[in-house]
Structure 1
Amino acid sequence: MNIDSHYGVKPAVAPDGWEVPVPMQERSRKTAERFVQVALQLLREKTFAELSVAELARKAGRSVGVFYQRFNSKDDFLHVLLSAYFREALEWREAVRPEGEPATIYAEILARGFHGIMENRNLWHAALERSAADPEFWKVYRSFRERAVEITLRAMEASSDRQFSDEERRQLAIAGQVFNSVINNQIINSPGPLRLEDEDFLPELTRIAVKLAGL
């Protein structure tokens, strides 16, 4: 994962109540990036709840004290990890080429998003658990979501050489909401009948989303 290089030692408070990164010295920046990279690797094998700061510090070759110098708490560190995840998601969306039919482009973006969540399933599970306890949790990521929608629309409109109507945009928003909601429900509850690991889960869910989007 390509980690953005602006994690602050002690973040400043943003207007929306969350704490945003501030510039830091090169050495401190690399230390913060090291914690993020190691944490994302460890979360491939264990849940966020199972991940201890002591283990993270040991694997990163740093001390627990250094971790708390860079991040206020483990809870705040979750936001740092999610910000890194969303930044990467914006980067690959920007790289999507507006070639082919809008439905093809939309399916490609849905697939990339799905695989990104699957690769970071424990991170996403932690975020969903936190949001269940805190209705305001996702508010800080509104700009990421809006940017992701904008990039997706831009690619699809470029491929069709026209702007989408308000109704078409609404249908896309509904399709995306359904697609994400089904995945989130599977991660938290795994209700079936299709499960995330099933070969036909993504194709079936993509087919439904494309149909809902009217593509």
Structure 2
Amino acid sequence: MKTEEFGVLESITTWAAEGRLPEMLPTKQARSVKTAAALIGAGRQMLREMSLEELSIDELCEEAGTTVGAFYRRFESKGDFFVTMQRVQTMRTEQSIRAFIARHPPGQSSLEMLCEDIVHETVDNFRSNLGVMRASLQHSREGMWKVIKESGDRYRSMLVLLLTPYMDGIPVAERQFRILFAYQALAGVLVHVVLNDPGPLSLGNKNIEKELLRLTHAYLTAK
């Protein structure tokens, strides 16, 4: 195959068997799931350089080393294929979040360390999933942001639980709002960069994490 299979073949097999990829047509053939993984990997790469409208099924299949017939045996439409890409992305992100939580056992971290990890994880998520994120945002009015938003809601709930004990000096009644707004500001900057790249810092600039950490930590500790 011409494109990496996104390194998630085993996970996709499990998620499909658990019914967590409902837009992917059911199959018991391992080869068919491997084809789906190759298509997802190819789609992710192609969307980094083009819009969802420009993504051709013919070109996608050529890039993935498969056939258009094989595509339609796995997905009824390009829309179903894209939602499956979103679901795979969010489940991969949630695996990363579980690892993040494990790195910070209760009472064994600091607000600055947590902010640094949160900013890094969030920027890395936008960078590694750039094409899918941009296409999702561009089609948000068509409901294409729903899967990612639901994952984000779960992430924000986790941040409230994780950060609240470390916010000494901030009234308890204010802590949840502070955390939620800090993440809204962090994600908002990255959404603006993905959609418009207005400068001064692009998503690929090594200083963007440093400045977003400064912004996030300063707000969470401001009196």
The alignment's TM-score, normalised by the length of structure 1, stands at: 0.78
From 202, 207, 212, the counterpart of 1:200:
207
Task: Write the letter of the residue equivalent to 1:90.
Answer: E
Instruction: Label 1:142 to 1:200 Cα distance change in 2 as closer, same or farther (>3 A).
Output: closer
Could you tell me which residue of structure 1 aligns to residue 76 of structure 2?
Answer: 72
Superposed CA deviations along residues 96-151 of structure 1, whole A, max 9, x for unmatched, are 211420331232122122122112212211111111x43x4333444422322233
Pair 1:168–1:21, CA change in 2 (3 A): farther
Q: Distance in 2 between matches of 1:23 and 1:210?
A: 46
1:25 paired residue number = 28
Which runs of 5 or more residues in structure 2 are unaligned?
A: 1-5
- Structure 1 pair 38–50 and aligned structure 2 pair: CA distance change class (3 A): same
Q: CA deviation at 1:177?
A: 0.6
1:4 is the counterpart of 2:12: yes
Structure 1 Cα separation of the partners of residues 28 and 174 of structure 2:
48
Of 152, 166, 172 in structure 2, the residue corresponding to residue 145 of structure 1 is: 152
Count of aligned pairs: 203
What CA RMSD, in Å, does the superposition of the two structures yield over aligned residues?
Answer: 3.0
Kindly tell me: are residues 102 and 20 of structure 1, through their superposed partners in 2, closer, same or farther at Cα, counting changes over 3 Å? farther
Alignment partner of 1:212 is 2:196: no
After superposition, give the CA deviation of every residue in 1:170-192 in whole Å (9 maximum; x if it has no partner).
Answer: 11110111111111111111222
Give the aligned partner of residue 112 of structure 1.
121
Letter of the structure 1 residue corresponding to residue 116 of structure 2: A
Q: What percentage of residue pairs aligned between the two structures are identical?
A: 25
TM-aligned CA distance change 1:198 to 1:60, over 3 Å: closer
Tell me which moved more, 96-105 or 86-95. 96-105
2:61 maps to: 57
| SS state at 1:137 partner | coil
Give 1:19 shift.
5.6
Query: In the superposition, relative to structure 1, how do residues 41 and 24 fare at CA in structure 2: closer, same or farther (>3 Å)?
Result: same
Q: Which runs of 5+ in 1 are unaligned?
A: 13-17
Mark the CA change 1:157 to 1:170 in structure 2 (over 3 Å): closer, same or farther. Answer: closer
Where does structure 1 differ by over 4 angstroms across 4 or more consecutive aligned residues? Answer: 18-23, 44-47, 157-160
Structure-2 change in CA distance of 1:77 and 1:165 (3 Å): farther
Partner Cα distance (1:89, 1:192) in 2: 26
Helix, strand or coil at the partner of 1:78: helix
2:111 counterpart of 1:102:
yes
Q: Cα offset for 1:22?
A: 7.0
Kindly state the Cα deviation for residue 68 of structure 1 after the two structures are TM-superposed.
1.7
Structure 1 residue identity aligned to 2:123: F
Whole-Å separation in 2 of the counterparts to 1:185 and 1:142: 16
